[in-house]
Amino acid sequence: MRDNPVLRIVAKIIIPVILLFALYVQFHGDFGPGGGFQAGVIFAAGFILYGLVFGTEALRNAIPPGLLRFVIALGLVLYAGVGATTMLLGSDYLAYGALAHDLIGGQHLGIFLVELGVGITVSAVIVTIFLAFAGRNDP
Amino acid sequence: MLIETINIVLLGMLALTALAAVRLHDLFAVTIMFGMYSLLAAVVFVVLDAVDVAFTEAAVGVGISTVLMLATIGLVGRHEQRPAHRPLLPLLVVAVTGAALVYGTLDMPFFADPAAPVHQHVVPYYLGKSPEQTGIPNVVTSILASYRGYDTLGELAVIFTAGVGVLALLGLRRRKRPSKEHPTP
């Protein structure tokens, strides 16, 4: 597929749109449909499209596997870290009210960080699974 | 009436797609059928007003899992092998299990019954209190991330474990072909 100019150009145009849409779904999940999981999957889909059109080797150059391994853990640590922070602030685990002066502000900040953690880990895991599966097809 | 017609058409197409996936022997076509099945399921979720679930089904079922299955077909070949044994016993097991599941649904509350236990337990509390307690318009998000924060943390740990498992089993380094490095005589 690497020699097909139509695919290459369409992919180059559409990948930034996919990534931007994923960020929209991530940060607009409080107000409309969507959230961390959906955003993570869509974000990963952008990278997978890149890998399909330009080859898994190019994708591996774009995201080094070592970084990917780090990012997989980062999201879960962020989520669990929000819970640890609320405990350190003297509240229950994952009780977001302690994160700000008022309950609503704390809930907004807590849900924002938690959904971000979900999105980070989900997107990294899906890109990892794609690389592990499709990388075996390389000659 | 319109909703019923849409539901009947969608569920009929779901059943047709499933039957086609069973009848076909070209695994590439079967994978595309599974993708169509997921897309139809996503539309069914939209009709049920479950847009968050529809979003997930469309992204994961249609997109990611189709790509992963195609990558696997690239490794194992696209044609199904003839089964070495007669599949009568598995068919019997599947038929009995399916009949038991259908029998189990007879005790379930009717579709969209407001008196169903699931609508009486904590749901009224979440729907009533979510705007003032979290200030977030999308109740799905406030339930998933705030009221059910422990569950979502557990789900994220499951996804993390899946990623670690794939890394441990397959790895990301490209395997060097041994025949090229150590040519066998």
Ranges of each domain in chain A: 5-137
Confidence band, pLDDT 50/70/90 cuts, at residue A36: confident
- CB-hemisphere CA count at 13 Å for B153? 19
CA distance B99 to chain A (A): 34
Which chain B residue shows the shortest CA-CA distance from A27? B141
Residue B106 belongs to a domain: no
Which residues touch A119 (CB under 8 Å, ≥6 apart)? A22, A26, A36, A37, A39, A40, A43, A75
B150 shares contact with chain A (CB less than 8 Å):
yes
Q: Do B172 and A60 touch (CB under 8 A)?
A: yes
Q: Which of A3, A58, A134 is nearest to B73 (CA)?
A: A134
pLDDT digits (tens, 9 = 90+) for B14-36: 999 999 998 888 899 999 999 99
Do B3 and B72 share a structural domain?
Answer: yes
Confidence band, pLDDT 50/70/90 cuts, at residue B184: very low
Do B74 and B120 share a structural domain?
Answer: no
Residue B39 belongs to a domain: yes
Cα(A62)–Cα(B156) distance, rounded to whole angstroms? 25
Cα(B159)–Cα(A40) distance, rounded to whole angstroms? 12
Q: Do B136 and A52 touch (CB under 8 A)?
A: no
Which chain B residue shows the shortest CA-CA distance from A64? B172
Q: Do A107 and B146 touch (CB under 8 A)?
A: yes
Q: Do A72 and B164 touch (CB under 8 A)?
A: yes
Substitution target from A38, A53, A104, A116 for chain B, most B beta carbons within 10 A:
A38
Do B71 and B3 share a structural domain?
Answer: yes
Residue B29: give the domain boundaries: 1-80
Do B74 and B24 share a structural domain?
Answer: yes
Q: Do A30 and B55 touch (CB under 8 A)?
A: no
Residue B178 has pLDDT above 80, yes or no: no
Do B68 and B16 share a structural domain?
Answer: yes
Q: Do B142 and A107 touch (CB under 8 A)?
A: yes
In eight-state DSSP terms, residue B78 is S
Residue B42 belongs to a domain: yes
Q: What are phi and psi of B79, to 5 degrees?
A: -115, 135
Considering its fold, how many domains does chain B have in total? 2
Residue B87 belongs to a domain: no
- CB-hemisphere CA count at 13 Å for A121? 26
Do B4 and B62 share a structural domain?
Answer: yes
pTM beyond cutoff 0.80: yes
Cβ-Cβ contacts under 8 Å between A and B: the total is 146
Do B123 and B59 share a structural domain?
Answer: no
Do B124 and B64 share a structural domain?
Answer: no
B152 shares contact with chain A (CB less than 8 Å):
yes
Torsion of CA B43, B45, B50, B51, to 10 degrees: -30
In eight-state DSSP terms, residue B83 is P
Confidence band, pLDDT 50/70/90 cuts, at residue B148: confident
B62 within 8 A of B38, measured Cβ to Cβ: yes
Cα(B37)–Cα(B77) distance, rounded to whole angstroms? 22
Residue B95 belongs to a domain: no
The question of ipTM being above 0.85 is answered as: yes
Cα(B139)–Cα(B145) distance, rounded to whole angstroms? 10
